[in-house]
Structures are given as structure tokens and as C-alpha cells.
Structure 1
Amino acid sequence: MTDPGAAFVEFDRVQKSYDGETLVVKDLNLQIAKGEFVTMLGPSGSGKTTCLMMLAGFETATHGEIKLGGVSINDIPPHKRGIGMVFQSYALFPHMTVGENLSFPLEVRGMGKSEREGKVKRALDMVQMGEFAARRPAQLSGGQQQRIALARALVFEPQVVLMDEPLGALDKQLREHMQFEIKHLHESLGITVVYVTHDQSEALTMSDRVAVFDDGRIQQLAAPADLYERPENSFVAQFIGENNKLPGTVVALDGDNSKTEGKIATVKLEDGATCEALAVKCGGPGSKTLVSIRPERVSVSSEPGPNSTTAQVLELIYLGDHIRCRLNVHGNDEFVVKVPNAAGHKHLVVGETTQITWDAEDARALDPQ
């Protein structure tokens, strides 16, 4: 989103400190459009959950302004912000039935009984739980409880729904199923969703855009494909997906050296060999860099090229549709290549030496770690 005037949720120079000294959120500027699904992704302690709690009103910003629909909500209490919330722990009232759990936020808002009943039925139907209104949470599975928690967040038709690690307590298969259910609900209802997770597959599957957090700052904000294919720094490259890294020094750039980004950099690696990579976040000749290459962008091939090199096969893991090959490449024992399990691809053997290659445009010269 490039038009600030279209911002529906906005963090404007927001900071947060719990002790008055250490900032856990540092000068955050983020704009989210109405109807957008934005995920805050990052490791524990990166500041993502604190941002969500400030938006919900459960934490107060130390500095800056949080706006909803162009209006500052810094001083508005949580229950008056018109925001729905879904937690990992579900937070359902155990002594209430499913219907009563959903009716409660409507009662708080002073809604009449007949209107409440209509909204509860619609919300339960949205999550395919219409037959469970009379049950209590303890009578439901984890996946069913999470559906009810989602329905409760939607029942009063909030402006924004916030989700804090909502699928973390579910098993892998159910978690993946719920990812698609939440995404489909978002698309059909057109609601604005701000989602927090440390699971990159969730973020890539569900989001319109992902904000990658580290050390209290957004390292990159982009669509899932851009994050994966075009990471802007070494942290994002390592955190999103599997990634091979080769440290080295820039020795040349194509053309003049006045501007580096978008040029092809020749990098001298630690073992003395050279390779070519797209210059993204590196300096001119003499500067340290980290060459980043995705495993699926590397080919086992004898075709000559600027990045052709020999590699020793250290480990092979069969994963059905592909073979995960761990190689020694330029002194790196953790270099991974994914070889499709299909006709026409070379069968590798542990201990043998093979030839690999990759295109310069598929490798990225980033900041050194």
C-alpha cells in the first residue's frame, strides 16, 4: 500500500518501553488498508506481539500514535475500539455454552435478545459450527474451540480482527486446514485482519503482506512472494524459508561503482573462489557481503557458467517429491540443494563429487551477518 490516505490501521512513529530505557518497539511506521490481511512475523522478543497488544489497547504506546480509520485510539479503552481478538488459548468462558460465549460481547454492547440470537447464528454458520450452540467448550475439540473463538471475534462485526498465534495449539494437519479457513473467511467477509505468528508458512499462506520483525523494527514489509524471492537483508533471507549463505568480499561490480543495487557483483568467497550475485544490500569493491541462494534455485548440472562449482555430497534425505541434498560447497558443509524426484534429474550418491550451478540473478549479495 503506497497511498497514506488509504490507511485504515496506522502506526505513526510508535515506540514502546516497559522499563523506561529499553525499547521493545522502535519508531514503528506501518499502514494497513481496509480489508487487508497483514501478518506480523518474527522470532520471540522481536516486538510483534507488543504491537498487536498496543493496537488492541491492552498495552499503551510510550511514544507515537495509533490510528483506526484516521482517528487516534491511544486514549480509547479496548472495549470501545471495535476490535475483535482471537488468542492462542481460545479464552472461552468454560461455564457458558457456545451460544452464550458468542452472545456475551453483544450483551456488553447493549444489544437486544432477538438481534443477538440472529448474529450468533450467523457467526456460528460462518465457521460451520451451527449445531454446537448448546455445548460447552470442554465438550469440543481444540479445532472446534478455535472456530468458536474466531466466531466470537466476528460476531459483533468489528472493524478489525486481531489474531495472536491463534493456531499454535493445534496439530500440524489441523493448523494447515485452519489457515485456509481463516483466509477464506477473510476473503468472503472483507474484514481487516492483523495476525501475529512466528510460523513463516502461516504468514506466507495467508497474508496479503507480511511485516518481518526483528529487534523491535520491521526489517521488510512486502507480499509473501517478494519476501521469499527478494529478501532485502540477510535476516529476512535466513528467517523466511531455507537459505544457503556464502560469506565473501565484493571484488567488482558490472559497470561503474557509483550505484550498487541491481548490478551483478563478483564476490570472492572465503576459500578464494569467486561467484556472481545480484547486488541488493552490499557496498562496492572491498566490502564484506553474504551471498544468499535458495536451495531450489541450485541445479545439479555440468553446464558451464560463472557460478559452476564442484560439491561433495554429504547427505541425502528422501522427501517424496524431492531429494534434500546436503553438500560441501566452498567450505560450507550445510549447503542444501533440492533435487526433484523426477525423470531426467541426476541420481546422487553420498560421498561422490558432483557439479552444481546457479544463475547470478538467483543469488543475492546482502549485508554481512
Structure 2
Amino acid sequence: MLDTGSEQAFVAFERVQKSYDGETLVVKDLNLDIAKGEFLTMLGPSGSGKTTCLMMLAGFETATHGEIRLQGKEINNIPPHKRGIGMVFQNYALFPHMTVAENLSFPLEVRKIGKSERETKIKRALDMVQMGQFGGRRPAQLSGGQQQRIALARALVFEPELVLMDEPLGALDKQLRETLQFEITRLAHDLGITVVYVTHDQTEALTMSDRVAVFDDGRIQQLAAPDALYEEPQNSFVAQFIGENNTLHGTVKQMGKESCTVELASGEVIEALPVNVSQVGDRTLVSIRPERVEIDPAPGTMEHTLDAEVKEFIYMGDVFRTRLAVAGKDDFVVKTRNRANQTRLRPGQKIRIGWMPQDCRALDP
């Protein structure tokens, strides 16, 4: 487990704020510690503040208030080129008039590294990203995926301890993106570098990261390991933003430590984990993941069962996605694995669905 205590923090944001116009804060009172060797992803919609945080860490933006520290040293006033941080952007940012080897040589020349050592480091970096044969080519002669590998090699060539990545795979097709996700994660762990990664792609964040900071409206809404983020969202924004999610509106009728009773807007009564509600009468949004719901469960196997009507049944290869009308809403989704002899449902069919109370979370409305 990574130690993310503030004494050990490799990167620390302390009460950091950012405003471009002196009035509106795009980053609000950010406190965040990142451990050495950690792969941390900043995830959120456009305008949530994640890229601004990355740019302040890189030195391309200045914090309006607060302190940013690297290895315990304040870096607010240190220019970008003196921070010793590797950067990878979505648009590659390679010099078009230089060969691949010259692109990689540039950050080494800036650091006054001798010619023979430069050649050794360039070869090692190109081999790392499986581009050893491409040193003599120019960026225009490479595909998008190859250019992104070179951009990654250039960020790693001077052996930085911290690498920042801003939507680096955003311009690539799905299959190539998935390949590079695994390669970047493997490289980061093999080299022991710290990575701060910015994306709006939830799958990317969940598959690559040690921890994910979910941003909205200039604040971190939740900071957790990927599985905790998905299984245990702390508010309705995170529940809705991470993965697919079902929500039902209701009111808290009874309140206990481990569970609460919720009366849904349609009149049904269910049990849920009280995550973001505090008292009887609170309005709530009950959250249930599609894969936690069972269709026509065997009697007595599920604590909650509700009537449902099939609206749509979609074959997706490995799973079936069924859209249902449940408790007055017609956008309730259930995902079931594609098994042998699976019954295919048809629109208009009446069924029962069920789930367990521990899979159901009472969040803010």
C-alpha cells in the first residue's frame, strides 16, 4: 500500500486556489498529497479544474493562493524547465523539423549531458517504448500511435522522477489506446516513477491508476483507489460520473447506523446503506450498479424485489444490456453476462428484479 501521509508526500498541494479573473475560482482550496511511485489520475468533466492543477504543477500556470511542493520543496516560483518534470501532451508536441533521435536529444542537451551519454539514454528510451528502429525518422513519417510513443520516450529520456500526462491517449483509436494504457502503466511501475495523469475517460482512470481524484467544480469530490471509487461512491456526482449507474429518488423513513429505510417516489419501500443522508425526512438519490441487479431471482435469494417491464434488450457480445421501467422510471439498466441458454427478453415483458441492500447506497439528492 502506498504511503500517502503528508510527511512522505512526494508532491503536495496545500490550500491551492486558482482564479484567472480575480473573481471566479477554477480550483478551490485543493489539498492533495501524492506518494513517491504513485500513479494518480485526475479525472473529471471539462472545466472541473483537473488540467489547471496539472499545469500549476508543471509550472505553466501560477497558483493564486497556496503552496505546491515537490519532495518537500516549494516550487511555486521555480520555472518549468528547472522543475525536472517530464511532460506528455495529447498533441505530442514533437518538433517536426527534427528526427526522432534529435527530439529525444533536445531535453538532454538542455541539461548539458555529453554526446556519448546522450546516445546511450536515447537508445534506452526508444527501446523502452519499442521504437528502437525509428531514430532517423521525422514525426510526419510516423502514425499517431508511434508519435505518442516517441512523446513518451522524450518525457522519460532524462530519467525524471515525476511525469505529468495531459490526455495523452485522447487522439488515438480505442484498440491502440487500450494497448498504450497497459504499456504506460507497466513502464511507470517498472521505472518506479511518479505519474500524475489527467483524463476525462473513466475506463482509462480505473484501469491505470493506484488512486483517482474525481474533480467537479474546482474541488476533489472523492479520492480513492479505483475499486473503492466504483463500489463505494461518496456522493451522487461520483456515482453518476464513474461507470453506469441506476438512481431512484426517495425519502428517508427510518435511520440506522448500518442501514436506512427509503420510500421511493413511486411508493415502494427499500433498504439502503446510509452514505450521504443523516436523518429521517432527508431526500435522497438511491444508487445501484446495473451488474448488481438480478433478473427474476429465485425466491428468497434477494432481500428486495420490484416489478419491472422490459423496454429494450440489447446484445453487446459479452453482456446483455436490458433497459427497464422500474418504480416510475423507464431508464433503469441491468447488465447480465452472456451465458449459454440465456433467456432473451422482449420489450413489453413483465419481470421481477432484485438486489441486496448492501449494493444500494442512499446518496445526496
The answer to whether structure 1 residue 10 and structure 2 residue 16 are counterparts is: no
**Aligned mate of 2:359, from 359, 362, 366:** 362
Q: Which residue of 2 aligns with 1:310?
A: 307
8 Å CA contact 1:321–1:341 kept in 2: the answer is yes
Supply the distance in 2 between the matched residues of 1:253 and 1:281 (Cα, whole angstroms).
Answer: 12
SS in 2 for 1:104: helix
Give the distance between the partners of 1:121 and 1:322, measured in 2 at CA: 44
Structure-to-structure mapping, 1:133-148, within 5 angstroms: 133-148=135-150
> What amino acid does structure 1 have at the position aligned with 2:331?
E
Alignment of 1:289-368 (within 5 A): 289-302=284-297, 303-304=299-300, 305-343=302-340, 345-368=342-365
Bigger Cα displacement from structure 2, 37-46 vs 304-313: 304-313
Equivalent of 1:265, from 260, 264, 278? 260
Residue type at the aligned position of 2:309 = Q
Equivalent residues in 2 for 1:208-287 (5 A)?
208-254=210-256, 260=257, 263-287=258-282
Partner of 1:166 in structure 2? 168
Instruction: Provide the aligned C-alpha RMSD in A.
Output: 1.0
Q: Structure 1: how far apart are the matches of 2:348 and 2:339?
A: 22
Instruction: Label 1:96 to 1:2 Cα distance change in 2 as closer, same or farther (>3 A).
Output: closer
Helix, strand or coil at the partner of 2:335: strand
Shift of 1:79: 0.2
Could you tell me whether the CA contact under 8 Å between 1:300 and 1:346 is conserved in 2? no
- Uncovered stretches (5+) of structure 2, i.e. residues with no partner: none
Aligned to 1:77: 79
Q: Which amino acid is 2:206 matched to? A: L
1:183 alignment partner, one of 182, 185, 196: 185
Which residue of the other structure, out of 119, 126, 139, is the alignment partner of 2:121?
119
Q: Deviations over 1:238-283 (max 9, x none)?
A: 00000000011000123xxxxx5xx211101111111111111112
Structure 1 residue 346: deviation in Å? 4.2
Cα shift at 1:161: 0.2
Shift of residue 348, structure 1, vs aligned partner:
1.8
Letter in 2 for 1:62: T
SS in 1 for 2:10: strand
Alignment partner of 1:308: what SS?
A: strand
Find the aligned partners of 2:161 and 2:360 in 1 and give their Cα distance.
42
With structure 2 as the length reference, what TM-score do the two structures score?
0.97
Task: Report how far residue 343 of structure 1 moved.
Answer: 3.7
- CA deviation string 1:176-202 (max 9, x = no partner): 110001011011101000000000000
Q: Does structure 2 retain, via aligned residues, the 8 Å contact 1:339–1:345?
A: no
Q: 1:193-243 deviations in whole A, cap 9, x for unaligned?
A: 000000000000100000000000000000000000000000000000000
Matched, 1:108 2:103: no
CA deviation map 1:44-73 (0-9, x unaligned): 000000000000000000000000000000
Does the CA-based 8 Å contact 1:16-1:61 persist in structure 2?
yes
Paired with 2:5 and 2:89, the residues of 1 have a C-alpha distance of: 31
Between 50-59 and 333-342, the greater mean CA deviation after superposition: 333-342
The equivalences for 1:41-56 within 5 A come to 41-56=43-58
Deviations 1:310-360, CA, capped at 9 Å, x for gaps: 100000000112110000000111100012221475432211110000000
Q: Distance in 2 between matches of 1:202 and 1:340?
A: 22
Q: Which amino acid aligns with 1:15?
A: Q
TM-score (norm 1): 0.96
Q: Which runs of 5+ in 1 are unaligned?
A: 255-259
Q: Do 2:4 and 2:35's aligned partners in 1 also have CA atoms closer than 8 Å?
A: no
